Chains A and B, each alone.
Chain A
Amino acid sequence: MFYTQLYSQEKHLSLLNKSTNGTLYLTATHLIFVESSSNNSTSILHHHIASVEKLSLTTTGCPLVIQCRNFRVVHFVVQRERDCHDIYSSLLRLLRPVSYEELYAFSYNPKQNDQQREEGWQLIDLGAEFERMGVPCDQWQLTDVNRDYKVCETYPRDLYVPITASKPIIVGSSKFRSKGRFPVLTYFYQEKKAAVCRCSQPLSGFSARCLEDESLLQAISKANHNSRFVYVMDTRPKLNALANRAAGKGYENEDNYSNIRFQFVGIENIHVMRTSLQKLLEVIGTRSLNMSDYLVGLESSGWLRHIKAVVDAAIFLTKAVTVEGASVLVHCSDGWDRTAQVCSLGALLMDPYYRTMKGFMVLIEKDWISFGHKFADRCDQLDGDPKEVSPIFTQFLECVWQLTEQFPQAFEFSEWFLLQIHEHVHSCQYGNFLGNNQRQREELQLRERTHSLWAFLMSEKQNYLNPFYSPAYSEVHPVLAPSTLPYNFKSVFWRNMYHQFDRSMHPRQSILKAILTLRDNSRNAESTLQALETLQLQLPPATSRLPHSGGTHKPQRSAAAGGGRGGGG
């Protein structure tokens, strides 16, 4: 590519709070810094760079500050101002790709053949997932109404609706819903035959009605014999929903829908969330921050208040479904941000399967990717509208992390799994998160031209296991009931997410790593013991005692290895 330039002057880098000298290289995909003393290198994928800032010239050189989407902040000091300017302007061009074809996923080649790649994409099968939930069944069926993305272009092709919902009802309802996102099934709680459905806001304005929409909700209600009504959860604050009425949108009027119980939940919109995280990052980026300013800053950013609101909503959903046995319809405005958060987090609380590694991939594939969370816009994959960018998915991952902290035995994966997913949502290295919806992904032929993250994560499964995971725990506690009392939000703050690259702030020793090593040693010892016992059977008793050999065996593996770095390639 024409803007690929190679720089090889001595550069000054301050990383990990320490300064090192080295050489900075700029390639088509990465910014690479090689330390001159140790030959250690650090590479930063261009897609990870959120912003580049050139500060004013100092005596040591020209400082360049790079902020990354994985919350890494790197300071370079380039000796000559002209070089600095060159790097700066190259980066500016590099980090604003204008077409999908420029993204790393299309050039990334992990040396796999087509068959392997194909298999990677087949790892997650949503049809099989609905079957696992027990759908289709006598009350729910697969509809082909969206086969060609005609009814709703941001929904997937395969959708599940109540048996009694005819095509005209569906089509009628879709015309009454923002972006045509009519109510469809996303999770089925088999034990109580209760459904979690999702949609966007109704175009009700101040008084509009839609009989088809009313019948569709009626059908959802009828499909569940356990409850006489269906909850409608509007995840927005009431004020926002009211304001939407003036624009011809709004919320369901309980008088028009015979069988609903309407509830506002009060999660703020993408703009509030974006500002909130920005404030949080400003606070924690302050040098020599004192405790009071930190806590005041945390409070005023509101970030934890928002996290709590999302978890609270998921708890409400879970209780309605698992305790009351009622079906729930969840929506917000367009039904792809807050709705995705609440539905997926709720399912995670209800169903132990989603707390396994594979299950979590399925959950993201279903509630986020297939139902059209706008990853391209929210994660700023292409040079687009900054107002569309928002850390909704990051926030979801943090909610999950809070749950893993409260229930250390309930999840098969460790936080490094979450961090790695976060890393790659922004890396654009794999095809999974590219684009805004399934239709767009098919047009881009991602399955043919890129690789799947899920296959890669599965191949590295060992790195992301939670050693404390106990399937038995999940049998006893299939439904998790987290506490959201403010003081139960552990550690206040997810250090490994927002300070992953700031080594000075982390525990100097990792329990996780130590325990994984210990467990491996014990497993090795166990197999050695078994081998010895087998041997014992074959040998005469007198020679059967062999010297101990298990304890000294040390496997070379680090728990954090997979999580620490992004990029690669």
Chain B
Amino acid sequence: MEFSEHIKTANVEDVVLRQPLHPPSRGTLCITGHHLLFSDREEGSSRQLLLLLRNIDAVEKRISGSSGTITIKCKDMRVLHLDIPGMEQCLNIAHSIETLSCLDGVAAMYPFFYRPSDLSLQNQWGLSSTEKYYSQMKELHNRWRLSSVNRDYSVCPSYPPAVIIPQNTDDDMLKKVAKFRQGGRFPALCYYHRKNGMVILRSSQPLTGANRKRCREDEHLLQAVIDGSDKGYIIDTRSSQQAQQARMTGGGFESKSSYSHWKRLHRQMERGKALQESLIKLVEACGDESHNMDRWLSKLENSKWLSHVQTALSTAGLLAECVERDGHSVLVHGSEGTDSTLLISTLAQLIMDPCCRTLEGFLALLEREWVQAGHPFQQRCAHFAYSHARLQQESPVFLLMLDCVWQLWRQFPLALGFSEALLLRLATEAYASDYGTFLCNSHQERCALGVTENTHCLFQALLRPTERDYYSNPLYEPTELAIWPSVHPQSLQLWRGFFLRWTQQARQLEEAQEEIRNMVIEWGKMALS
């Protein structure tokens, strides 16, 4: 295998592993193409650590005398130390980890090699798709149609082959609309609100540019959406100033004069680099073990992470309010329409739609809104907060979404069918995974690499009977009502389960929660008997 050229030293004996929540242990370290394996050789214990190299975000080495220490910082926030005898061995190991943890070729990644005995590649891949959603929503059919204009990804490279668009918009029109929207992401339906027939669409920004270009087809398409209704809302995830500025670089917004029945609402959401920097600061703050309360609060504030949580939830609340309370359809976009757009449309659906709140429903929602809608996972999740590499396209939007869902879950502990464990698992899997679900940046790329044929699907795996219980909420009581979150700062919290997961205290709490969970399941069974 071509990995071997990166592995100069495959095995080292007498290595000491220090990791959170465990006493140090001595054993053998082994590097393979995809994993770091440590086996404890101490009498009476046989602990093993199997770490996906992809999970490693940063490697730091310190040589002192004839031995060295490698510090490994993982994308799941774990920090490990390996004391390795022999300077050369230490350098070799560090070099192998550094290289192998960020190899570029997707096809060489572990999901293409992962073959667990209880899963078969013949199993169904995925839970949901645009086609499936369309066929389930019979009410949609007289006004909306399924178009396969994008079957070869030529109209929009980041969209899936099938899209839902207004009945009276033909494919040629769509092609023109696509040219008027950044990255070809024309307005397409992502949610139908059964209670009042209103919809959520998402797109990218219109390419109006400095000379206020118009596109009749785009205007026509949007008009068709609100036929029979007095107006629609456009939620732009940028401030109006940012939207104005975007015109200078060829982007823009829907002007009042060309889209007279649409009311634009601007909500500035942080994106891209700024979000990644926020995560880096928060993670740094969470690693601070000093006993200074003021410093902690000031670092927490300075990271702005909780502000982003607050903004995301309140913008999602606004979107849901437009649809559910105000009874109007909404188009959501920012600039590219692959990040904050997806964030708020996901959250709004959770708020309004009980079907999204079951374990399957939530996973299906993520599949439609993130995986298929073209959130560029590979770019966004290339590095976590420790990496020394120069920031490129990294941005923790998906993690921010999971954090917001956690906040919802805390405020409505009975209304969601899944557990915190699921959110934690997803947060880890998005950055490094045995499964193919979060590989690549778009449907097109996954298709080209044969991801569905050659890897296993995470969502299917999570629904296996053996896993399912662990990811379900034993207190789940479905409700038809919308779940409106409170977005007061006093109601939002740091997601300790994720950001402090490797601390002693978090572990103790986790154990307590596990016991409580078992108790609750026991009572539940009893009450049903």
Contact = CB atoms under 8 A, between A and B. Distances in A.
Q: Does chain A bind chain B?
A: yes
Interface of A: 284, 289-296, 298-299, 302, 304-305, 308, 312, 406-409, 468, 470, 483-493, 495, 498-499, 504-511, 514-515, 518-519, 521-526, 529, 548, 550-551
B331 interface: no
A408 B494 CA distance: 19
Nearest to B479: A509
B475 A291 contact: no
Contact of B494 (A289, A487, A522): A487
A525 B493 contact: no
A504 B490 CA distance: 11
Interface string B276-287: 000000000110
Contact of A295 (B306, B503, B525): B306
Nearest to A498: B490
B1 interface: no
Given A499-B490, A505-B488, A521 B527 contact: yes
Contacts of B516: 408-409, 468
A101 B345 CA distance: 62
A522 B310 contact: no
Interface in B464-511: 475, 477, 483-484, 486, 488-494, 496, 500, 503-505, 508-509
B304 interface: yes
Interface in B398-455: 410-415
Nearest to B304: A292
Given A408-B513, A468-B516, A495-B490, A507 B505 contact: no
Interface in B361-416: 410-415
Contacts of B286: 487
B508 to A, nearest CB: 8
Given A305-B294, A409-B515, A487-B286, A504 B488 contact: yes
Contacts of B492: 291
A490 B310 contact: no
A529 B297 CA distance: 53
A219 B413 CA distance: 55
A484 B290 CA distance: 10
A289 B488 CA distance: 7
Contacts of B512: 407-409, 468
Contact of B520 (A299, A515, A550): A515
A294 B414 contact: no
A551 B528 contact: yes
A2 B18 CA distance: 75
B293 interface: yes
Contact of A522 (B295, B513, B524): B524
Nearest to A491: B493
A522 B522 contact: yes
A495 B505 contact: no
A288 B509 CA distance: 33
Given A305-B293, A408-B509, A522-B527, A294 B489 contact: yes
Interface in B346-374: none
A168 B422 CA distance: 68
B169 interface: no
Contact of B489 (A289, A302, A488, A509): A289
A493 B285 CA distance: 18
Given A486-B292, A511-B475, A406 B509 contact: yes
B492 to A, nearest CB: 7
Contacts of A487: 285-286, 296, 494, 496, 500, 503
Interface string B281-317: 0000110010111111110110010110110000000
B113 interface: no
B529 A550 contact: yes
A389 to B, nearest CB: 24
Which of B294, B296, B503, B525 is most buried by chain A, counting CB atoms within 10 A of its CB? Answer: B296
18 contacts: A284-B490, A291-B301, A291-B304, A291-B306, A295-B297, A295-B489, A296-B298, A296-B301, A312-B291, A408-B513, A409-B515, A485-B289, A486-B293, A487-B494, A509-B411, A514-B414, A514-B475, A519-B523
B21 interface: no
A163 B525 CA distance: 58
A302 B294 CA distance: 7
B519 interface: yes
B515 A470 contact: yes
Contacts of A305: 293-294
A65 to B, nearest CB: 20
A470 B306 CA distance: 34
A507 B244 CA distance: 38
A511 B513 CA distance: 12
A495 B411 CA distance: 13
Contacts of A308: 291, 293
Contacts of B307: 290-292
A204 B254 CA distance: 79
Interface string B130-155: 00000000000000000000000000
B523 A488 contact: no
A488 B503 contact: yes
Nearest to B309: A291
B324 to A, nearest CB: 15
B527 A551 contact: yes
Contacts of A548: 529
A100 to B, nearest CB: 37
A284 B490 CA distance: 8
Contacts of B489: 289-291, 293-295
Contacts of B525: 522
A171 B264 CA distance: 80
Given A507-B412, A509-B415, A511-B413, A295 B300 contact: yes
B291 A492 contact: no
B410 to A, nearest CB: 6
B505 A488 contact: yes
A373 B294 CA distance: 29
Given A507-B411, A515-B475, A483 B490 contact: no
Interface in B143-177: none
Nearest to B484: A508
A526 B526 contact: yes
10 smallest CB-CB distances across A and B, nearest first, come from A486-B296, A522-B526, A295-B301, A294-B489, A521-B527, A522-B523, A299-B297, A291-B307, A305-B293, A522-B527
A290 B483 CA distance: 22
Contacts of A492: 297, 493-494
A506 B411 CA distance: 7
